[in-house]
Structure 1
Amino acid sequence: MSIGTKIAWDDTVLPFQLDRPDMRGRIARLDGVLSGVLRQHDYPPAVEALVAEMALLTALIGQTIKLRWKLSLQVQTDGPVRMIATDYYGPSEEGEPARIRAYASFDRDRVTDARGFDQLGKGYFAILIDQGQGMTPYQGITPIAGTSLSDCAASYFAQSEQLPTIFALSYGRSTEPGVKEHWRAGGIMLQHMPKASPFAQGGGSGDEGLLEAHDLVDGDDKENWNRVTMHLNTVEEMELIGPQVAPTDLLVRLFHEETPRVFDSQPVQFGCTCSEDRVRQSLSIYSAKDIEKMTTEEGRVTADCQFCGAHYDLDPATLGFEAGDGQG
């Protein structure tokens, strides 16, 4: 089977549990999602890789949370890549796909040929959970740490949630002969079920004293954690990306001694929530004088969505709180 062929477990997240060590996990495979995210932009290769990794993390983390609306991941740094932002919208109905969107802001003149993570400077990794109208959003922040965005995510869970977490990710361009070049990604997320936090006393063993996963486990839990992560570290890149090995077969290969159980998979797709109505709503706080300052020489107000590239061209007379009823 060609890697470029659409297969049943592309753009899905498969939840699973390892009963023996009391751990939960997710396996994700992304294909069309990444195409939807990346084709909207002319990113340098290093930036593309960062956005692909961030989208994969978003799919894995988003599926672990019972969302009524949105999970957002964000990285902000003083490096060449200033910001990466992703959103995961939970399905509105059971059986429907979740939606993912992502974009990066960067200084093209400062981006080098170095690998993606080296394009980040000092900054932070943040997770925002917004359950919708009437609910107070939750935000957790941790410094940029380790050597990858997955290290940052694992550090976040250790520091902010005190949940031992580990990721194994693979992503890159598929360049098979006869198949259009495109991005694919796959990964596994493992978490110890929440009961280990009482062992997290004092500083951690990570950069600048940050907690790491092994700081949060002790006794039998530590033995289980070390054994399972040792098995996870044997995973090969092509096993993560597919298509030769189904996620269920990969679980058996890696964790057959841990009594793995799988649950219903969650389909994911690229999706943006922007619309003309949302643009109009965002501009409704401005006066006619403010709107005039935004008007182009052609007498229009324009807006572009950073996530999906949609372009909106609006009549300034219909915008702002002083606008008439007509739209154009």
Structure 2
Amino acid sequence: MANKRDMTNPAVESDVLTRFLLPDAFTRGAIIRGSAINKEAKRIHGLNGPVAALFGQTLLASILLLSISKGGMRQVLQLDAATGSFAPLQRMMAETRPGAVRGYVNWQEQQTALRYEEHAGLSSWMGSPVRLSTVRDMGVGEPYISSIEHNSEFLADFIIHYLHQSVQIRADIILHGDLAIMIEAMPGCEEEHWFKAVEAMAKIPNSVLESASEEAILAYFSELSCKAVGTDHYAYRCSCSQEKMKAALQGISSEQLLQMADEKGKVTLSCQYCDNVYELEIGAAGN
């Protein structure tokens, strides 16, 4: 599907996520080609090469986790480097709310990143094992928080392992370039049904995953009576504001605020999700 403008911010394009059913396999899924999301994330964070691709996959995986299963109001997906690792990345985080995703990358040794330019494997960037943590906020009660450690070069393996171990969900996922697709077994899905769904997804050629439309990709599930059942629009969009930045300073003592302030009595804060810069007067921040 073509990208569309995000009506809350017409300068930012959005991508379309399609939710689908495979009735003959008692399976459901979601697919999104996040070209606009990845483009905006790369622009904001100044990323290129393999690490840009990995960050884009993290954003899209977070969207998939929110969009299928039981849904919710917020989904956080966080990757932390192996303890004691000297790999260049310390943390990679994505946060998804309905219609919007944002994230950030914390560098441990950014100056060494060029050494890893030819290595796309996760361990090259974060060591091994990497810790994956999730927060699923359903909007009622306490959020569900889970963490696992896993060894793999591919983020998709981490997501599958997490769903199986922590959520007891049988799922399969593909993260390829700017494409993300996930299928999940529904009640009534027996081994033979699940095998058919996984087999159909495994038969999609890399060349198709690389650039074909979502409709063309879903055609590979036609023998399972594939049916699109809904769409959602997602854009890389941050919810930071002057008011939220002021609230972030509430827990800081007056002495610390004075140390942070410039000669004009203002504190400058930068949003790690979008690089917007806010100048706050100490008096206003303390009110």
CA distance in 2, matches of 1:164, 1:68: 19
Give the whole-Å Cα distance in 2 for the aligned partners of 1:233 and 1:65: 21
**Deviation for aligned residue 1:291:** 1.2
SS at match of 2:256: helix
On the 8 A contact 1:75/1:124 being kept in 2, the answer is yes
User: Which 5+ residue runs of structure 2 have no aligned equivalent?
Assistant: 6-12
Query: 8 Å contact 2:57–2:180 — kept in the other structure?
Result: no
Partner of 2:10: none
Q: 1:284 aligns with which of 250, 258, 280?
A: 250
Instruction: Show the counterpart of 1:216.
Output: none
Partner of 2:90: 82
Paired letter, 1:167: I
Q: In the alignment, does 2:218 pair up with 1:251? A: yes
Percent same amino acid at aligned positions?
Answer: 22
Q: How is 1:1-328 mapped onto 2 (pairs within 5 angstroms)?
A: 6=3, 11-65=15-69, 67=71, 69-78=73-82, 79-90=87-98, 98-106=99-107, 107-111=109-113, 112-113=116-117, 114-117=119-122, 118-121=124-127, 122-132=129-139, 135-171=141-177, 185-194=178-187, 221-242=190-211, 245-252=212-219, 254-297=220-263, 299-320=265-286, 323=287
> What does the per-residue CA deviation read over 1:227-274, in whole Å, with 9 as the maximum and x for residues that have no partner?
3222211212342343xx44234222x222212121121111111111
Task: Report the Cα offset of residue 80 of structure 1.
Answer: 1.9
What SS is found at the alignment partner of 1:163? coil
Deviation at 1:10, TM superposition (A): 7.0
How many Å separate the matches in 2 of 1:50 and 1:314? 34
- 1:140-186 per-residue CA deviation (whole Å, 9 max, x = no partner) reads 11113322111100100010111111112221xxxxxxxxxxxxx11
SS of the residue corresponding to residue 112 of structure 2 reads: coil
Unaligned runs of 5+ in 1: 91-97, 172-184, 197-220, 324-328
C-alpha offsets along residues 39-65 of structure 1, whole Å, 9 cap, x if unaligned? 112235232121011112122222115
- Conserved? CA contact 2:66–2:72, under 8 Å: no
Asked whether the 8 Å contact 1:166–1:191 carries over to 2, the reply is yes
Q: Distance in 1 between matches of 2:243 and 2:26?
A: 47
| CA distance in structure 2 between the aligned counterparts of 1:161 and 1:52, rounded to whole angstroms | 24
Amino acid of the structure 2 residue aligned with 1:309: D
TM-score for both structures, normalised by structure 2: 0.85
Deviations 1:52-111 (A, max 9, x none): 111121222221155553111100113321111111111xxxxxxx10112111221333
Q: Is the radius of gyration larger for structure 1 or structure 2?
A: 1
Could you tell me how far apart the structure 1 residues matched to 2:91 and 2:187 are?
Answer: 31
Please say if residues 47 and 116 of structure 1, whose CA atoms lie closer than 8 Å, have aligned partners that are also in contact.
Answer: no
How far does residue 17 in structure 1 lie from its aligned partner after superposition? 1.1
Q: CA deviation at 1:139?
A: 0.7
Amino acid at match of 1:115: A
Q: Distance in 2 between matches of 1:284 and 1:110?
A: 36
